[in-house]
């Protein structure tokens, strides 16, 4: 057994604290910056090692007692043992480090991270695994082993109350369930169960699902190989901008932290300085989270989204809110950009919010759209840095970035970045 005495210098964009043993990086989970630990190396790699804490020699002032009874076993919240102030500092540092190290970017402003409020009870969507004994829980850290839970401290109170309801419902079914998502929305008592089945729906389960849509559970969705069934109201609602409310179908992507999302939307609208003459192209538009707030302020928005159900949700949301200046295109973002360039289309502003993998294929092409400003929303600092480097190489200047904490107790962070064309055309078609 190889032991090392380490001081944890920082938190990575991942579930580890980072220390050094004779100059080599050692990654240790469940630590806090400033901890002094005795650690056992469990994996050796050329440039780094992975270790586990054997003993905590001296706790950091940034360390706290994790309030969740499952902390340290459940793999969902890798930073609960770290004070919230230290979490925010680490996220801001990780964003700045990625932009400098991966993107080789400089000369821009990193604005202070926008904190979440509250730091617990914020998550409107939680995904629980189901084992062969029909127990519900989260995966153990670095393992596929299930940790059975009956509560979750980061879940919104309605979603949290849905855990025992979901557990009871699963035990009533003949059908084998592998996963259950619990969603709650802004309508009072709005709770939806969305499950993945391994087989066809059992004969008695139609009635069991219909009977379970009662009280706190407003809707149930079960999806299996080649089939999908719904009971009750399976849409969930979120307020995004003043009185603007969006509805998502269960099983499609939506922001898990509505309060934090509203901060992000407000920040983007403030940065965009959008006016009545602006023409906006939005890529990876989803169901309208950014689209509809922008559309209320500009001449028109072209919204591109590759997931057809999200496009249907977006069109419905626009109609429900009386917004008529959005054109929706249900296609791959890269293909749409190529077509728009071929047709000579121009926009005053381009907004993109890609998935974690980023927008590597289309980032270098964005300059051909003639936008004076590009606003990029990202959930991954490394792919953001890579894409911003490509956009900058095409003639844009990174002006500022703003980290936004939508995911307290985890290493995940959202970031808004603004790039300005060095020679803006100022025209749109």
Alpha-carbon distance values, 156 to 10, 57, 101, 161 (Å):
29, 36, 36, 9
Domain ranges of the chain: 1-63, 91-117+257-421, 125-236
pLDDT at residue 72, as a whole number:
86
Query: Measured at the alpha carbon of residue 255, what is the angle toward residues 251 and 257, in degrees to the nearest 5?
Result: 125
pLDDT at residue 187, as a whole number:
83
**Which residue from 281, 305, 290, 166 is spatially nearest to 238, judged by alpha carbons?**
290
Alpha-carbon distance values, 419 to 23, 302, 303, 391, 399 (Å):
37, 20, 20, 8, 6
Cβ neighbors of 224 (< 8 A, separation 6 or more) are 175, 196, 197, 198, 199, 200, 201
pLDDT at residue 424, as a whole number:
52
What tens-digit pLDDT sequence spans the chain (429 residues)?
688 899 999 999 999 999 999 999 999 999 999 999 999 999 999 999 999 999 999 999 999 999 999 998 998 899 999 999 999 999 999 999 999 999 999 999 999 999 999 999 999 999 999 999 999 999 998 889 999 999 999 999 999 999 999 999 999 999 999 999 999 998 888 999 999 999 999 889 999 999 999 888 999 999 999 999 999 999 999 999 988 999 999 888 778 999 999 999 999 999 988 999 999 999 999 999 999 999 999 999 999 999 999 999 999 999 999 999 999 999 999 999 999 999 999 999 999 999 999 999 999 999 999 999 999 999 999 999 999 999 999 999 999 999 999 999 999 999 999 999 987 554 556
Query: How many whole angstroms separate alpha carbon 79 and alpha carbon 115?
Result: 15
Same fold? 1-63, 125-236: yes
Peptide bond between residue 223 and the one before it cis (omega within 30 degrees of 0): no
Q: What is the 3-state secondary structure (H, E, C) of the chain?
A: CCEEEEECCEECCCCEEEEEECCEEEEEECCCCCCEEEEEEEEECCCEEEEEEEEEEECCCCECCCCCCCECCECCCCCCCECHHHHHHHHHHHHHHHHHHCCCCCCCEECCCECCCCCCCCECEEEEEECCCCCEEEEECCCCCEEECCCCCCECHHHHHHHHHHHHHHHHCCCCEEEEEEEECCCCCCEEEEEEECCCCCCCHHHHHHHHCCCCEEEEEEEECCEEEEEECCEEEEEEECCEEEEEECCCCCCCCHHHHHHHHHHHHHHHCCCCCCEEEEECCCCCCCHHHHHCCCCEEEEECCCHHHHHHHHHHHHHCCCCCEEEECCCHHHHHHHHHHCCCCCCEEEECCCCCCCCCCHHHHHHHCCCEEEEEECCHHHHHHHHHHHHHCCEEEEEEEEECCCCCCCCCEEEEEEEECCCCCCCC
Determine how β-strand 146-148 pairs with β-strand 109-110. unpaired
Whether the CB-CB separation of 8 and 32 falls below 8 Å is answered with yes
pLDDT at residue 3, as a whole number:
86
Sign, CA dihedral 363-261-311-324, equals negative
Alpha-carbon distance values, 228 to 114, 128, 162, 182 (Å):
39, 19, 21, 17
Is there a catalytic annotation at residue 379? yes
Of the listed 74, 77, 209, 379, which one is catalytic? Answer: 379
Task: Give the domain 91-117+257-421 fold.
Answer: Rossmann fold (3.40.50)
Task: Give the domain 125-236 fold.
Answer: OB fold (Dihydrolipoamide Acetyltransferase, E2P) (2.40.50)
Query: How many whole angstroms separate alpha carbon 32 and alpha carbon 15?
Result: 11
Structure tokens at 140: 């153990």
Q: Which CATH superfamily is domain 1-63 in?
A: Nucleic acid-binding proteins (2.40.50.140)
**Which residue from 91, 130, 131, 138 is spatially nearest to 111, judged by alpha carbons?**
91
Structure tokens at 417: 């970045």
Structure tokens at 403: 């980290």
**Which residue from 282, 291, 294 is spatially nearest to 374, judged by alpha carbons?**
282
pTM, entire model = 0.94
**Which residue from 383, 298, 419 is spatially nearest to 13, judged by alpha carbons?**
383
pLDDT at residue 426, as a whole number:
47
**Which residue from 412, 319, 312, 305 is spatially nearest to 351, judged by alpha carbons?**
305
Cβ neighbors of 238 (< 8 A, separation 6 or more) are 124, 185, 186, 245, 246, 248, 254, 255, 258, 261
């Amino acid at each position: 057994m190889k032991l090392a005495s380490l001081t944890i210098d920082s938190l990575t964009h991942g579930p580890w604290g980072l220390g050094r043993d004779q100059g080599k990086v050692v990654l240790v989970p469940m630590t806090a910056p400033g901890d002094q630990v005795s650690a056992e190396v469990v994996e050796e790699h050329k440039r780094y090692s992975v270790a586990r804490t054997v003993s905590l020699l001296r706790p950091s002032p940034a360390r706290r007692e994790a309030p969740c009874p499952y902390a340290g076993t459940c793999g969902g919240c890798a930073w609960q043992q770290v004070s919230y102030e230290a979490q925010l500092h680490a996220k801001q540092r990780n964003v700045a480090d990625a932009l400098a190290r991966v993107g080789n970017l400089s000369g821009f402003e990193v604005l202070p991270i926008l904190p979440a409020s509250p730091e617990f009870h914020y998550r409107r969507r939680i995904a629980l695994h189901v084992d062969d004994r029909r127990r519900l829980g989260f995966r153990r850290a670095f393992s596929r082993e299930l940790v059975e839970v009956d509560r979750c401290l980061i879940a919104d109170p309605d979603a949290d109350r849905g855990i025992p309801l979901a557990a009871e419902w699963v035990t009533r079914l003949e059908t084998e369930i592998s996963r259950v998502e619990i969603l709650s929305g802004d309508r009072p008592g709005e709770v939806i169960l969305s499950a993945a089945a391994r087989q066809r729906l059992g004969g008695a389960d139609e009635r069991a699902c219909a009977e379970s849509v009662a009280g706190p559970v407003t809707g149930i969705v079960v999806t299996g190989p080649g089939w999908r069934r719904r009971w009750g109201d399976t849409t969930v609602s979120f307020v995004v901008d003043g009185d603007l409310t969006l509805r998502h179908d269960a099983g499609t992507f939506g922001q898990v932290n509505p309060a934090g999302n509203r901060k992000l939307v407000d920040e983007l609208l403030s940065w965009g300085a959008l006016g009545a003459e602006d023409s906006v192209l939005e890529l990876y538009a989803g169901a309208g989270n950014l689209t509809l707030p922008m559309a209320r302020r500009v001449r028109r928005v072209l919204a591109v989204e590759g997931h057809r159900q999200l496009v249907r949700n977006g069109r419905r949301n626009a109609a429900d809110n009386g917004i008529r200046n959005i054109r929706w295109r249900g296609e791959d973002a890269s293909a749409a950009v190529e077509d728009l360039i071929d047709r000579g289309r121009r926009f005053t502003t381009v907004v993109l919010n890609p998935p974690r993998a980023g927008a590597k294929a289309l980032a270098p092409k964005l300059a051909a759209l003639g936008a004076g400003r590009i606003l990029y929303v990202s959930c991954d600092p490394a792919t953001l840095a890579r894409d911003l480097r490509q956009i900058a190489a095409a003639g844009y200047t990174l002006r500022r970035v703003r980290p936004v904490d939508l995911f307290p107790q985890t290493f995940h962070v959202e970031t808004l970045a603004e790039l300005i064309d060095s020679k803006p055309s100022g025209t749109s078609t």
